[in-house]
Amino acid sequence: MRRTLIITLILFTLYISAGLETMIGGRKSITDAFYVTTVGLDKAKDKIKLTIVTQSLGPEEETEYTKKQDKYFVTEGKTIFEANRFFTTFMDNKIFWGHVDYILISESLVKNGLDTYLDFFMRDHETRLIAELFIVKEYSAEESIKLVIDSGEDITNTLHVLKEDVGKLSVSGCVPVYEAFSTITDENCGSNVPLLQIIEDEKEETDSTDAKEASVAEDNPKSKRLVLDGYALLDPESSELVGFLTGNDARGFNFAINKIKSGVIVVEDPEGEDVTLEIIKSKTKIIPKFNGDKLEVTFKTKLSTNIAEIDGSTNLFTDENIELLIKQQNEMVKKEVKNAIDFALKHNIDIFPISKVVERKFPVKWDKIKDDWRKIFTEITFNVEVDSQIDRTYSIKEPVLSREDG
């Protein structure tokens, strides 16, 4: 106890009298830290443009309910780390990377490969590996950040909402840094990164009566917004951007890699009216089979849906009609998955990745063929099988529009 007290007091006095301050550079008081929540990476000639978004308290501090407000800052540097250090030349607070939630990377930057830029986020001790990666199509990351912040919204919050709702349509996904890193380091499978797109609304009359949006709409005749749709796919070896899968093709891809949470399939009843089905469960098995040296891969999808909306008046709940719906549904899913497969074959990248399945199922054989995988991949015969069923109908059994006979 005596010794403890002595040690404590010595350490503490040393610290107070600044003897240790020089040794301990790690101290960063919470009050002078800037929390980076979203990062944007862009290409600027041969440099990297780094945009950071911090959530800080707004200038209107007098009220008790201080408003959180996003601010963004931009620097350029040869590498991310250098660009990061340039912030210190003009920012009055320390930048803290420990709370980065989203990393936006512009399409132009990924054209030369993604791996070089991920290293910083893997290596730095502050950054978390659960930050989500997004690639911005056409526009730069800075522009997309600007777009949201200028409209008075919170970029981090917006991305958060987009990410949360990604399962509703299942046209995109979430890829945290560590997952991206482990697929990028695998030389046989291509990696996918969710795609952010900026969409210009064609119609000018906005549905919402929100004052803010209205004012934005006045400034630019075409209002733009950020949507999360599709995937950017990267080459397995160089991690360069190969192409995009968007819309229903992306959903096909999600079907193949088992990332479907929910989604909407619109089919027609016998009379040509729309019937909307909601996906509630989907499971895909990738089954590889060797026919001699030739590889045959079957995608077996099991799907179950709900009837969510019936626009016509036909009574669908007969064996015959349900069969019809299921058949259409099967066809649609099959088509979507096929599109995704076609994309993979076209660019010769194993995006699913089938290599993993083969490795697990035929470890001995895999050892022999793994070096020629890219060649073998193009020669694979793909089969898609969909086995679906319609499970439930919500609360009304018959369509609202159905009339009593006679």
Binding residues vs other proteins (CB under 8 A)? 1-5, 7-9, 11-12, 15, 20, 23-31, 33, 35, 37, 55-57, 61, 66, 68, 96, 98-99, 101, 122, 125-126, 128-130, 176, 178, 181-182, 185-186, 356, 359-361, 363-364, 367
**CB-side exposure of 404: number of CA atoms within 13 Å?**
1
Q: How far is the CB of 360 from other proteins (least distance, A)?
A: 4
Q: How far is the CB of 190 from other proteins (least distance, A)?
A: 15
Q: Are 154 and 70 in contact (CB under 8 A)?
A: yes
Q: Are 270 and 321 in contact (CB under 8 A)?
A: yes
Quote the CA–CA distance of 228 and 177 in Å, as a whole number. Answer: 17
Quote the CA–CA distance of 298 and 295 in Å, as a whole number. Answer: 10
Quote the CA–CA distance of 397 and 64 in Å, as a whole number. Answer: 53
Q: How far is the CB of 93 from other proteins (least distance, A)?
A: 10
- CB-nearer residue toward other proteins: 29 or 209: 29
Q: How far is the CB of 5 from other proteins (least distance, A)?
A: 7
Tokens found for residue 292: 């001699």
**Other beta carbons less than 10 A from residue 366's beta carbon:** 18
- CB-nearer residue toward other proteins: 9 or 199: 9
- CB-nearer residue toward other proteins: 29 or 291: 29
- CB-nearer residue toward other proteins: 85 or 397: 85
**Other beta carbons less than 10 A from residue 67's beta carbon:** 10
Name the residue type at position 304. S
- CB-nearer residue toward other proteins: 58 or 270: 58
E strands, 201-293, in order: 224-234, 241-245, 263-268, 274-291
Tokens found for residue 134: 């997004």
Q: How far is the CB of 334 from other proteins (least distance, A)?
A: 26
- CB-nearer residue toward other proteins: 6 or 396: 6
Q: How far is the CB of 357 from other proteins (least distance, A)?
A: 9
Q: How far is the CB of 20 from other proteins (least distance, A)?
A: 6
Cα 390 from chain centroid (whole Å): 29
- CB-nearer residue toward other proteins: 119 or 323: 119
Residue 109: name the closest of 73, 139, 153 by CA.
139
Q: How far is the CB of 178 from other proteins (least distance, A)?
A: 6
- CB-nearer residue toward other proteins: 5 or 400: 5
Task: Give just the sign of the alpha carbon dihedral 305, 229, 105, 91.
Answer: negative
